[in-house]
Amino acid sequence: MVFGVCLPCPKCGGQLSYSSTSRSYRCEGQISEYTKCTYRDANPKRKKFVIPKEMMEECSYLKKVKVNVLEKRVYNEAIADEEVVGPSDQFKYLGSRIMKTNEEKGDVEGKSIGVGSGMSQQLIKNGTIVDQECEYADVSHVHSRNGVLYTVVLGSVDTQTNRNSYYKLQLLKHDEKPNYYLFRSWGRVGTMIGGNKTENFRNEQNAVEAFEQ
């Protein structure tokens, strides 16, 4: 409503959205199935924002709103030169641990934690790192079968949107009991975005199948 609606990308027809990191409008579309569109423009062509009649009937104030189209958006150069300050390491640590519970480690189907920092504490057992964000890390180790360790970290880097995401999967086995825990964690590196989930299994085969899905 303030600047007007951006017209579709002239390169691929995708939708343009504002990026605060590049201070320009970037296309969210795809040139092909495997190629992301790289079009960007600080002042893309626009059209007037059309307020639906239904909304104007429900809110009389909208009838008085004047919708304009700005020919050029002016950016504050002073703000562009300011350094972006990220959260402190201590705050990131608290963010990743704040949802930890003290309840009895009993028979539960699963537990999800919606807070993550992209930075986790590490615990090494049998020469393998066990993610300490898992509530069973102190009493379990990474499961192995036929010389294969059931742990994997997947990454996705998008240089256009400056995003570096990860997805971690570990199958843990209790140090003494015949219990298995499938731990998942995900997030975006350098941010507070992310979370984790733990599923319990009493059977090795079921746990392995869940890991391999």
Structural domains of the chain ordered from first start = 5-80 (2.20.25.630), 89-212 (no CATH)
Full-prediction pTM beyond 0.75? no
| Token output for 38 | 């790289």
DSSP state of 38: -
Q: What is the pLDDT of residues 98-136, one digit of tens each?
A: 333 333 333 334 444 444 444 445 678 877 888 888 889
- Residue 117 vs residues 46, 59, 189, 198: alpha-carbon distances, Å: 38, 41, 8, 17
- Spatial distance between the Cα atoms of 57 and 85, rounded to a whole number of angstroms: 44
pLDDT higher than threshold 60 for residue 62: yes
Confidence band for 198, pLDDT divided at 50, 70 and 90: very high
pLDDT higher than threshold 90 for residue 91: no
Mean pLDDT of 182-195: 87
- Spatial distance between the Cα atoms of 170 and 177, rounded to a whole number of angstroms: 18
